[in-house]
Amino acid sequence: DMMREVLGLKELEKKIKNRLQLRDVIVVAGDSDQSPWVKKEMGRACVARIKELLEGNTIVAVTGGTTLAAVAEMMTPDSKYRDVLFVPARGGLGEDVKNQANTICARMAEKAMGRYRLLHVPDQLSHETYQSIIEEPAIKEVLDLIKASSIVIHGIGDAKTMAERRKTAPEEMEKIEKNRAVAEAFGYYFDQEGKVVHKVNTVGIQLEDVQKVKHVIAVAGGASKAKAIKAYMKQAHHSVLITDEGAAKELIRD
Ligand code: G3H
């Protein structure tokens, strides 16, 4: 902690917390755009925070992405996880398997030696199929568990980067660009005021639900994500932000 003081990380945390009006902010050293291990440092910080928040039968919902994959990698077993259930926050968003919430959820639970449930729902659903699938007992059971989560851990992405990575259809791409989306989180796209301009239709946690979850932790770093973080956080004041110095320095720039 002495080291973090010397590095000025605590000062950065205080400034960002005040400026973005957040519940709490953790800044790790480095810039994950430059050094891949910085993502793991954010992961380590996230794991430590999760452990502090656990109380009895906690349900932890996680999203996908490379940052959340790093959180999963840094997870360590603890007797506290015996009564913890990990679930994916939402259904598929068009990501590669390694970046999917299901994959990360299972990995995290295995590393924690906790339990998990997965959502077996295809990514692209017609309205009719969607309506019937959420009534399937096995699916409904998992969806109810997801809605009962008291901790949500998610990443934040740059809108364009995420839309491209997920091979978004041209007409959706156009909508995202036309409405000047700058941020993405759990399949929602936000403009620079933090207003939703597009959402991917899938089951699981919706934005209205996230706003009611007791503990929400956003993990996102790298100078290239500063704009996205700033935009997303405009509508997420009750969240904890775990970021890196690279993003943090941009966040306090005027
Ligand atoms: O769901 C994906 C996140 O919004 C960002 O993904 O951690 O790979 O940058 P990432």
Separation of CA 137 and ligand 1 centre (Å) = 30
CA dist., res. 207 & res. 154, Å (int):
12
CA dist., res. 85 & res. 112, Å (int):
10
State whether the beta carbon of 229 lies less than 6 angstroms from ligand 1: no
Residues contacting 83, CB < 8 A, separation 6+: 56, 57, 58
State whether the beta carbon of 63 lies less than 6 angstroms from ligand 1: yes
Ligand 1: residue whose CA is nearest its atom 2: 65
Site to probe by mutation for ligand 1, drawn from 32, 38, 63, 68 as the one with most ligand atoms within 8 Å of Cβ, is 68
For residue 24, what are the β-bridge partners? Answer: 240
Given a contact cutoff of 8 angstroms between Cβ atoms, the answer to whether 190 and 229 are in contact is no
Question: What is the b/e burial string over 19-28, where b = at least 16 CB atoms within 10 angstroms of the residue's CB?
Answer: ebebeebbbb
Which residue type sits at 161? T
Residues contacting 182, CB < 8 A, separation 6+: 158, 159, 190, 191, 192, 227, 228, 231
**10 Å Cβ neighbour count for 195?**
14
State whether the beta carbon of 218 lies less than 6 angstroms from ligand 1: no
Give the number of the atom of ligand 1 that is nearest the alpha carbon of residue 39: 7
- For the chain, 254 residues long, give each residue's pLDDT as a single digit of tens: 778 877 799 999 999 999 999 999 999 999 999 999 999 999 999 999 999 999 989 999 999 999 999 999 999 999 999 999 999 999 999 999 999 999 999 999 999 999 999 999 887 778 888 889 889 999 999 999 999 999 999 999 999 999 999 989 999 999 999 999 999 999 999 999 999 999 998 899 999 999 999 999 999 999 999 999 999 999 999 999 999 999 999 999 97
Separation of CA 6 and ligand 1 centre (Å) = 30
Given a contact cutoff of 8 angstroms between Cβ atoms, the answer to whether 214 and 234 are in contact is no
Separation of CA 10 and ligand 1 centre (Å) = 25
Given a contact cutoff of 8 angstroms between Cβ atoms, the answer to whether 245 and 30 are in contact is yes
Each residue's pLDDT tens digit, 205-230:
999 999 999 999 999 999 999 999 99
Q: Report the SS3 class of residue 54.
A: coil
Separation of CA 66 and ligand 1 centre (Å) = 6
- pTM for this one? 0.97
Separation of CA 43 and ligand 1 centre (Å) = 13
**10 Å Cβ neighbour count for 134?**
15
State whether the beta carbon of 65 lies less than 6 angstroms from ligand 1: yes
DSSP state of 79: G
